[in-house]
């Protein structure tokens, strides 16, 4: 999945694809654009509750 020109604004757990992920998996994704917030901010996923593995 590719998200272009993303414009996401929030407060906590702000992510371009997932803000808060519990035992899930995000693979083969790319996000471009703006993601803004106050705590736990990332273009792909802001907060993961399980082990994170980069692919």
Domain limits, the chain: 1-28
pLDDT at 48 over 80: no
Cα separations (Å) of 1 from 11, 29, 32, 33, 38? 25, 5, 11, 14, 26
Q: How does pLDDT run across 5-35, given as a tens digit for each residue?
A: 888 888 888 888 888 888 788 888 888 988 8
Does the pTM surpass 0.75? The reply is: no
Tell me which DSSP letter residue 54 carries: -
């Amino acid at each position: 999945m590719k998200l272009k020109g993303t414009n996401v604004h929030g407060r906590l757990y702000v992510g371009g694809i997932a803000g808060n992920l519990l035992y899930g998996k995000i693979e083969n994704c790319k996000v471009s654009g703006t993601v803004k917030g106050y705590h736990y901010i990332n273009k792909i996923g802001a907060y993961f509750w399980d082990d994170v593995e980069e692919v």
